[in-house]
Structures are given as structure tokens and as C-alpha cells.
Structure 1
Amino acid sequence: MSGVAQGLGEPQAAAATKGPRRLGLWLGVALSVGLVAIVMLQLGGTTVDIFKTLQRLPPLAWLGVLLLYLVQPAFDFLVFRRLWNLPPAGFRALLRKNVINEVVLGYSGEAYLYVWARRAANVVANPFAAIKDANIVSALAGNLLTLVLAAISITELRNLDFAQRLGPALWSGLIPLAISLGVLVFGRQVFSLGRRQLLYVAGVSALRLIAWTALTLWVWRLALPEVAMAQWTVLLAIRCLVSRIPLISNKDLVFGNLMLLLLGAHSDVAVLLATLAFITLGLHLAVTIGLAVGDLARGRLWSGS
């Protein structure tokens, strides 16, 4: 077993980063609360519709939401299990990474994972290389999916005045696309992992996107079966475009708020997407509390594990 497994059972001092991590988490929570307030203002008197939508969600939709939430950390685990021989206990760190990415700031979770790996796995000589390459490959796959969905939905996106409504934020999404092109051109200088490892990460990333796409459409269709699949495909394209915007937190809430602007607060689709965003935020909260309670039980709160 590698140093990751060995390090998981060792208490680590976290005094140097405890303050910044707590500050970042609270800032992220404040941003999320702000997004919730914006969504509530958009909904206005129809806020009660969210609670009605929650009650109407079929049990399979709840299962789908849970599985959808676990897609990212589960496939991350497959990647780092191969690269680091990560034991099952390391799944906690990947759950926390996912929450930090979504609630605090995009890619801040990767910074957390790097610090965690350095502390829990002294034998891993260069955890940065694996994290960097895995994220680059994942971003390339995500950009490809976004371009494909945008191309399929280009006419409907124009009809929604999507580019004009989203404004400069949409153009910032071109940054990761430009970086992707640079990676393809200078790949040998960018990547640190071997070809087999990169192919494995690419395969896992592709499977993750397939699972995410299928589960997302499944949940949406279960909740509102009367909506045509073509409309869901357009909304999925918009969700992917929003996910390409760098350095924003809680993209599900951003997406939900955007749908309220585009479709109106009385749209069943917009209310559903806002509802699902609230459920996701609740899962983030539940995971954060659960991990903190677990750390307290082991006497290792904010220990980086």
C-alpha cells in the first residue's frame, strides 16, 4: 500500500492553513447565500412552487439527484485510485474537494486536494502532476461536450438571445477553450503523466461525462416528462456553457437563476431547475456537516484528511 493509505491514519497539524481554509469556506457560503437570495427574488411570489416541486418529485428523481451528486467524486476516486493507489477512506477528501469547488471557487478544491495529498501521502513525490493532468484532461473532455451540445442547439440558443443575456461572462468561457487548443498543440510540454495513465484518465473522464449527461437528462425527464427531449438538450447545452465560465461558485445556482431570467419565474422548467439547485446546495451542506462531524469524532477537525 502506498503512502496515501499509510498517511490516512496519521494525525496532521493544520494550524498554518486552518484560518485561510475556514475564511474561504465562509466566503463561499456567503456567495451561495447571495445566490439563493437572488433566486428567491426572481421567484417572488412563486417561491411556494419550489416546495410544491419538491413534494412532486418522484422517488426515482431523488435517487437520480443523489447519484448525480456522487458522479464527480466517484470518478475522481477511480482516477486517483489508479494514480495513487488511493484507499476507500480517501473518498472523504474527494467529497470535500467537490464541495469546495462548488461552494467556494472553481478549482479551489484542487488546491485543497494537493495540500491533502502532500500531508497524507509523503511517499507521493509529485501529487501536483497527477492533479494537474487529470484536470486538464477532464477540462478537454468537458469542452468537447460543450462544443458538441452548443452546435446541436445553436438555433435555439439564438432564439433565446442567450449570448446577449449572459453578456461578457459568456466570452470568459472562451478562456478554457483557448487553453484547450494550447494544450493540444503543446501537449508534450504540458503533461507529466505517461501515455497509459493519460489514456486511462481520458477514458474515465469520458465515462464521467456520459454518466453526468444521462443522469441529468433522466432526472429532468422524470420530474417533467411532458417537456420534449429537444428542449432538455438545449438546456443541457446552456448548463455546460455556464460550467465553462471560470472562477464562479455554485454553478447549479447560477444556472437556475439564469433559467429564471430566460424562461420567467412562472415557467415549470425554470422552477424545477431552481429547485434542483437548492437540493444540490442542501447536499453540499449535508456533506460538509457530515465530514466535519466525522473529523470531530476522530479528533481531527480541519486536519486535511
Structure 2
Amino acid sequence: MTGDGDTQEAAEVDPLGPREEARPAGWKLWLRRAFTIGILSFIIWRLTLIGWGELWRNLPTEPLFYVLHFTAYSVLPLSEIAIFSLIWGVSMSGTFGVMLRKRALNNSVIGYSGEVYLYLWAKARFGLTGRRLASGLKDNVLMSGIATALCAIVAALMLLWINPDLVRDRLVERAGPLSIGLFAVLIVAVLILFYVFRAKIFGIGGRIFAIVMALHFARIGLTYILQAWQWDVGVPAGTAELWFTLITVQLVISQLPLLPNRDLIYLAFVIEYAGSTGVNPQDLQAMFVTIFVLYQLLNYTALAVTSLLPSTRVAVKGA
């Protein structure tokens, strides 16, 4: 939209407008939908076999469980306030609602619709070029992905080190600590290469790169610590090894490409895996179903509430 100098006025636009362009077309869209329906049907079938009444009786009742869930959900938007303040060099104070909406859009609408929303929101409020805004968003997505991938690899290696029976013929045990150590060195080497060649990949300086990466690692660590604490409150019989195993699986699933609705895939895994965890499977299944439902409720509640806040609305200059 174009404006006429001093006569320009802010017109509210739908921050979800661009989502149609990013949506898969034709058979790809139907394939994604069929996959999602298939996973959801499997989950409903398994839960029906378990018994909905049994699940209801095993729902977590401790208030701390729900407090920890909201706290863990809030870690990402809080961390991104600090991250974008550094990347864009602007004050992002008072933008928790904006970052909460960004997260909810990415989780409930379509991937990266949150970035589109934040781009439009920031473009109307800061005196930054579209190129700088887009570069900052791209840098954050890349750094977040690198941090999550590294955490997934390290967690998987630690899990295999703790419980080598997870691999057939005790492959990890035969490989020994030297092989795993060399693999860890390789991970560090890749991170160093990213740092050395950051100028060709990222639009930020080395100091900001290091701080933002540290914030991402801290964000991931804090989120999973809170999550494990929540699980332990919900199912006190669980062990640290069980929670670490489930966190590792969650991290690995989050890195699988081309899979829609990874949350449903993870829930399906937990429902099947619950019987071999050493705890009451109904307790574990009920807890993770509760977490899944809470997660969706938080997403849609965040979208509804933030849509009413003037500070989170997207405005552009134009007629």
C-alpha cells in the first residue's frame, strides 16, 4: 500500500494475510491433511482402547503442574524480546504480547506466519528497512535451528551413553568413549565454522551472534528443565532417565524435516511407549494428553487475547 506524505494514516491489516501464499498447494496440502488425520485417528483409537474414563481419572490435579506449563510456554516469547532487541538494535520492552502472538501463530496457523506477523508489526513501528528486518528474522530462525539441532544431537549421544541398550548389539558401548568424544568434537567444529563464516551467512556481528546463541541455548535448557519438572509433578513415579529420554525424543522429532504436526507424532509415540516406561501407563498417557490440549488452548487463547490489544495489532502506512 502507498501513502501520500503527511496525509498517510495507519490502517489495520490482517497479520495473517500472507499465510495463503505460503500454504502448500494441491496434492501436497491434501497429503499433509491426510497425514494429520491419520495420526489423530490413531491417537483417538488408542485412547479409546485405554478408556476415556480411565484417562479422566488420571488427569494431573496438582496446581503447580499447570503453573509450570504456562511458565515453560512463556520462555520463548520472553527470550525473543531480548534477542530481537540485540539483533535489530531497538528497544523491545513491553512486547511480550507481540512475541506471544508470534509463537501462537507459528504453532496454530502455519510455520513462519509468526515471522511474517512480526515483520509487518516491526516495519510499522521502527525506522528500519525491510531488508534489515528480514535479515534479523532470518538470522534468528537459523540460530534457533542450529541451537536446537545441536541440543538434539548432544542429548541423543548422552542418552545412548547412559543407556547403550537402546542400540542393537550395544553398538555405542563397543564404539567406546573415544568415538563419541570425536563426534562431540565434530559438533563443536561445525559451530566454530558457522562462527568463522558468520559474515557470509548472518547479518549480525560476532559479539551479538555469540550472545544470541547463548540466549537460545539458555532458552532451550530452561524450557526443558521446566518441562521435566512439570512431568515429575504430574507423574511423581517417573525417573530422571525417563524424562531425559522423552525430552530427547521430542528434540529429535522436532528436527525431522517435512513432517506436519510434530506434536501429534510425539503424542502418538508417548501413548505407545508408555507401557514400557516402568510407571503407570494411564498416568503418563493422561498427563501427555492434558499437556497437548493445554498447549493448543494456550495457542488459541493467546491469539484471541492478543488480537484485542492495540499494542499487538499490525498497522501499515497507506490509505
TM-score norm. by structure 1 comes to: 0.74
State how far apart, in whole Å, the 1-side matches of 2:147 and 2:209 are: 12
Distance 1:302 1:51 in 2: 41
For 1:62 and 1:23, locate their aligned partners in 2 and report how far apart those are by CA, in whole Å. Answer: 37
- Judging changes above 3 Å, is the alpha-carbon distance between structure 1 residues 250 and 86 closer, same or farther for their aligned structure 2 residues? farther
Residue 61 of structure 2 is aligned to residue 61 of structure 1: no
Note if contact 2:55-2:282 (Cα within 8 Å) is conserved in structure 1. no
Give the share of equivalent positions with the same residue, in percent.
Answer: 23
RMSD: 3.4
- Which residues of structure 2 form unaligned runs of 5+? 1-8, 24-28, 169-186
**Could you say which residue in structure 2 is the equivalent of 1:6?**
none
Aligned CA distance change for structure 1 residues 299 and 80 (closer, same or farther; 3 Å): closer
Structure 2 residue aligned with 1:188: 199
The structure that is helix-richer by fraction is: 1
* Deviation sequence 1:27-79 (CA, Å, 0-9, x none): 9xx8999465553232114233443343x331111110010110111111111
Aligned to 1:14: 13
RCO greater where, 1 or 2, for CA within 8 Å and sep 6 or more?
Answer: 2
1:151 aligned residue: 157
Aligned to 1:111: 116
Residue 272 in 1 paired to residue 270 in 2? no
Equivalent-residue separation in structure 1 for 2:219 and 2:85 (angstroms): 15
Q: CA deviation at 1:103?
A: 1.7
- Measured after TM superposition, the shift of residue 206 of structure 1 is 1.7
Q: How many residues align?
A: 268
1:48-197 equivalences under 5 Å are 48-54=53-59, 56-84=60-88, 85-124=90-129, 126-154=132-160, 155=164, 157-158=166-167, 183=194, 186-197=197-208
Residues 110 and 19 (structure 1 numbering): CA distance in 2 closer, same or farther, change over 3 Å? Answer: closer
C-alpha distance in structure 2 between counterparts of 1:116 and 1:257, whole Å: 36
Mark the runs of 5 or more structure 1 residues left unpaired by the alignment: 1-9, 160-176
**Quick check: 1:284 aligned with 2:288?**
no
> What's the counterpart of residue 272 of structure 2?
261
1:237 equivalenced with 2:236 (yes/no):
no
8 Å Cα contact 1:101-1:249 kept in structure 2: no
Cα distance in 1 for partners of 2:95, 2:35 equals: 26
Residue by residue over 1:139-174, the C-alpha shift from the partner in whole angstroms, topping out at 9 and shown as x without a partner, is 221111111111122336447xxxxxxxxxxxxxxx
CA contact (8 A) 2:101 2:303 kept: yes
The TM-score, its normalising length taken from structure 2, stands at 0.71
